[in-house]
C-alpha cells in the first residue's frame, strides 16, 4: 500500500510540474535575445555609419541590420505592470525579441495593448506587431529582420490573422476572397494551402488602450489562435520551405512601427487540445 501511495504521489507531482506555467519575462529580459533590423531613414541618434533605408522590405540585407543584441534606440524595455514584469516596445525600429529556447507542443498566453506612438514607414498604417512561432534559421530571413516562421498577427482590427514568413506553409479551412486571400471558417470542410496572408474569421480585439488576451496552442503539425476567448484561426500541415514537418522553434515578438505593451507572457507544455478546442472539431 505504501509503495502504491508513493507511485501515485510521484505521478501527481510529475503531472503537476508538466502543467506549470513558465513565465518568460523578467527585469533583464534574460530569456530573450534582441535582433534589430535596418532602421528607417527618418530615425535619428543612431551610431555612426548605421545603414538606413526608406523601403525596409526591399533595401539592404541582414548584414546591413543593426544586428544581434544591439538596441541603440532602446526599442525593447522591461518595466512593471500590474505587479509583474512587462515589456514596452517603442516600435521605432523594426526588430524582434527572440526566445533563447525553442518550444514544441505548448500553450502560450500573453496580454497586449497599444500605445500612442507610430513611426515611419507606418505612420498612416494600422498599428502592427506580431507573435511569431516555430521560428528557425538565421535572423533577418524576412525583411532583414525576422526569422522564417509562422505569424499570429497582432495588428489593429486584425488580431489572429495568419502569415507565413520566409518560406513555411500551412493549410486552413476557408474560402477565397477575390483571387488573393483566404478567410478562415471553422465550418468549411475544404482545406486550402495558405502561402500568404490569411484573414481570421472574426476580429474580437479591443480598442487601443485595453488589454487583449492572446493565446497560441501548438500540437504536432497544428496550431490554434485564440483572441479574447474566441478561436479565430486554426492551421495544420505546418511545413518549412523544404516541405519538412515544422512543429517547433523559437518565439519572436515584433517591433513593427507601433508602440505596444506586453505582459503576463507565459508558456506551458500540452499533450492534447483543451476541451473547448476539441468541441469545435477544427481538424476534421
Domain housing 238: 22-30+98-113+125-284
Rounded to two decimals, the pTM is 0.92
> pLDDT below 50 — which residues of the chain?
1, 3-16
| Inside any domain, residue 143 | yes
* Distance in angstroms (rounded) separating the CA atoms of residues 96 and 67: 10
Q: How many residues does the chain have?
A: 284
- Whether 135 maps to a domain, the answer reads yes
Q: Give the residue from 140, 195, 191 showing the smallest Cα distance to 162.
A: 195
pLDDT digits (tens, 9 = 90+) for 73-117: 999 999 998 889 999 999 999 999 999 999 999 999 999 999 999
- Residue 10: its pLDDT value, please? 45
**pLDDT in the model for residue 133:** 99
What pLDDT does 28 receive? 96
pLDDT given for residue 16 in this prediction: 46
Q: Is 91 a member of any domain?
A: no
**Total number of domains constituting the chain:** 1
Q: pLDDT value at position 212?
A: 98
At residue 32, the pLDDT reads 98
Residue 74 in any domain: the answer is: no
Residue 3 lies in a domain: no
Residue 11 falls within a domain, yes or no? no
* 41: in domain: no
76 within a domain of the structure (yes/no): no
pLDDT digit string, tens, across residues 187-222: 888 899 998 899 998 889 999 999 999 999 999 999
Which CATH number does the domain housing residue 191 bear? 2.60.120.560
pLDDT of residue 7: 44
Phi, psi of 261, deg, nearest 5: -130, 135
Instruction: Please tell me the predicted confidence (pLDDT) of residue 156.
Output: 97
The pLDDT score that the predictor gives to residue 18 is: 56
Amino acid at each position: 500500500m505504501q509503495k502504491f501511495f508513493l507511485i501515485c504521489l510521484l505521478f501527481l507531482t510529475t503531472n503537476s510540474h508538466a502543467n506549470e506555467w513558465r513565465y518568460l519575462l523578467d527585469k533583464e529580459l534574460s530569456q530573450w535575445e534582441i535582433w534589430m533590423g535596418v532602421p528607417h531613414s527618418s530615425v535619428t541618434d543612431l551610431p555612426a555609419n548605421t545603414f538606413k533605408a526608406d523601403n525596409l522590405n526591399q533595401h539592404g540585407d541582414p548584414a546591413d541590420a543593426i544586428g544581434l543584441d544591439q538596441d541603440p534606440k532602446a526599442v525593447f524595455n522591461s518595466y512593471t505592470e500590474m505587479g509583474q514584469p512587462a515589456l514596452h516596445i517603442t516600435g521605432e525600429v523594426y526588430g524582434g525579441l527572440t526566445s533563447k529556447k525553442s518550444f514544441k507542443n505548448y500553450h502560450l498566453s500573453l496580454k497586449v495593448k497599444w500605445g500612442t506612438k507610430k513611426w515611419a514607414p507606418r505612420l498612416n498604417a494600422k498599428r502592427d506587431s506580431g507573435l511569431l512561432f516555430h521560428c528557425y534559421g538565421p535572423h533577418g530571413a524576412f525583411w532583414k529582420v525576422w526569422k522564417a516562421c509562422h505569424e499570429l498577427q497582432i495588428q489593429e482590427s486584425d488580431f489572429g490573422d495568419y502569415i507565413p514568413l520566409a518560406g513555411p506553409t500551412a493549410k486552413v479551412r476557408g474560402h477565397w476572397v477575390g483571387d488573393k486571400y483566404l478567410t478562415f471558417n471553422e465550418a468549411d470542410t475544404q482545406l486550402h494551402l495558405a502561402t500568404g496572408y490569411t484573414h481570421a474569421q472574426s476580429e474580437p480585439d479591443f480598442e487601443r488602450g485595453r488589454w487583449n488576451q492572446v493565446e497560441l496552442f501548438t500540437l504536432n503539425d497544428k496550431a490554434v489562435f485564440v483572441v479574447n476567448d474566441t478561436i479565430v484561426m486554426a492551421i495544420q500541415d505546418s511545413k518549412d520551405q523544404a516541405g519538412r514537418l515544422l512543429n517547433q522553434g523559437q518565439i519572436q515578438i515584433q517591433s513593427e512601427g507601433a508602440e505596444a505593451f506586453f505582459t503576463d507572457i507565459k508558456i506551458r507544455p500540452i499533450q492534447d487540445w483543451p476541451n473547448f478546442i476539441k468541441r469545435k472539431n477544427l481538424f476534421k
